[in-house]
Amino acid sequence: MALQRYKPTSAGRRHAELPDFQELTAVAPEKSLLRPKHKNGGRNSQGHITARWRGGGHKRQYRVIDFSRDKDGIPARVVSREYDPNRSAWITLVAYVDGEKRYMLAPVELEVGATVEAGENAEVRVGNALPLSRIPLGSIIHNVEFYPRSGGAIARSAGTSAKLIGKEGDRMHVRLPSGEVRIFRADCRATIGEVSNPDHKNVKHGKAGRVRHLGWKPEVRGTAMNPVDHPHGGGEGRGHVGGPKVSPTGKPAKGGRTRKRKKQSNALIVRRSGKGSR
């Protein structure tokens, strides 16, 4: 994917760098794979805001994505590459020989017209889903399962990938996008290749209105609030924070430990680098 820059015809266009969508081959999504998507504005079932600064945005429909890739031994042809408003990566529509259509995450090098397959006997090729035991060491993978048949949950966002770096009996060592090395069962599945749209991290929206279309609202400083709304609030004039900086619930926001003391997972071999023990 390439980013498109604009002439500075306005303040919002001056620094904008947005996708050119040249890789996409379809405009309208597959209707049979659409589901209604309702918004909650960051509120839970009781109506309380649990995720601040969210709300509004453009209306969306959910695309049903096949993260499990459980249709073994049946080849499918790549029909199109499409935009999904619910995720950063592109998605691919595949049509199986038995007539069923499904959406899957689009790898970088998977072209329209190619054939993909899933299962233990599938070829090690971009877009195919195989158990980790059937994937060669050093392979770049994505959509990795935590547990067999649970559906891919790791390395699904734009431009991300994991790497299979070791085998030890029925346990596989995988380096995650965060730098962690984790143990997986050999029968957990993963898809070969890197997730599409790697330039997503370089997008510059250029104006606040485009961010509002994505469902994000302006973030208000704690010092601008009243004491009832935030620990930093109150005071005469533009007062400074008297004590250590904290979150709205009073937890340390600058260097304090926030993780609970609990037994670390036995599946974790190497923690993320530079993160310490927090």
186 — phi, psi (to 5°)? -65, -25
- Provide the pLDDT for residue 277: 42
Question: What would the mean pLDDT of 26-41 be, rounded to a whole number?
Answer: 95
Pairing relationship of beta strands 144-145 and 115-116 according to DSSP bridges: unpaired
CB half-sphere exposure, 16, CA atoms < 13 A: 20
- Quick check: helix, strand or coil at residue 272? coil
Q: What is the pLDDT of residues 138-195, one digit of tens each?
A: 999 999 999 999 999 999 999 999 999 999 989 999 999 999 999 999 999 999 999 9
Count of the separate structural domains present in the chain:
3
Would you state the torsion angle of the CA atoms of residues 23, 24, 25, 31, taken in this order, to the nearest 10 degrees? 160
pLDDT at position 1, please?
A: 59
Instruction: Evaluate whether 143 touches 152 at the Cβ level (below 8 Å).
Output: yes
> Are the CB atoms for 133 and 173 separated by under 8 Å?
no
Which residue has better confidence, 1 or 88?
Answer: 88
Q: Are residues 116 and 211 in the same domain?
A: no
Given a cut of 90, is residue 66 above it in pLDDT? Answer: yes
Residues 209 and 188 in one domain: no
- Whole-number average pLDDT of the chain: 93
Both 154 and 185 in one domain: the answer is yes
Residue 113 CA to residue 251 CA, distance in Å, equals 53
Same domain, 12 and 147: no
How far apart, in whole angstroms, are the C-alpha atoms of residue 65 and residue 85? 13
| Whether residue 184 sits in one domain with residue 70 | yes
- d(CA 204, CA 263) in angstroms, rounded, equals 40
Based on the domain organization, do 66 and 190 belong to the same domain? yes
Distance of alpha carbon 225 from alpha carbon 234, whole angstroms: 7
Residue 129: inside a domain: yes
| Shared domain check, 71 and 145 | yes
Which range is least confidently modeled, 128-137, 141-150, 269-278?
269-278
Q: Which two tokens stand for residue 192?
A: 């070969």
Assigned domain for 70 exists? yes
Three-state SS across 108-173?
Answer: CCCCCCCEECECCCCCCCCCCEEEHHHCCCCCEEECEECCCCCCEEECCCCCCCEEEEEEECCEEE
pLDDT at 124 > cutoff 80: yes
Same domain, 166 and 29: yes
Q: What is the pLDDT of residues 185-234, one digit of tens each?
A: 999 999 999 999 999 999 999 999 999 999 999 999 999 999 999 999 99
The token duo for 82 is 């499409």
User: Are residues 74 and 187 both part of a single domain?
Assistant: yes
Q: Is residue 227 part of a domain?
A: yes
With a CB cutoff of 8 Å and minimum separation 6, the contacts of 99 are: none
Cα(94)–Cα(115) distance, rounded to whole angstroms? 9
pLDDT digits (tens, 9 = 90+) for 236-258: 888 888 889 999 999 888 887 77
**Higher pLDDT among residues 232 and 1, named by residue:** 232
With tokens 């790497």, the residue in question is 163
pLDDT, position 257 = 76
Q: Are residues 30 and 146 in the same domain?
A: yes
Residue 224 lies in domain: 220-264
Q: Note whether residue 214 is domain-resident.
A: yes
pLDDT at 107 over 80: yes
Q: What pLDDT, on a 0 to 100 scale, did the predictor assign at position 264?
A: 66
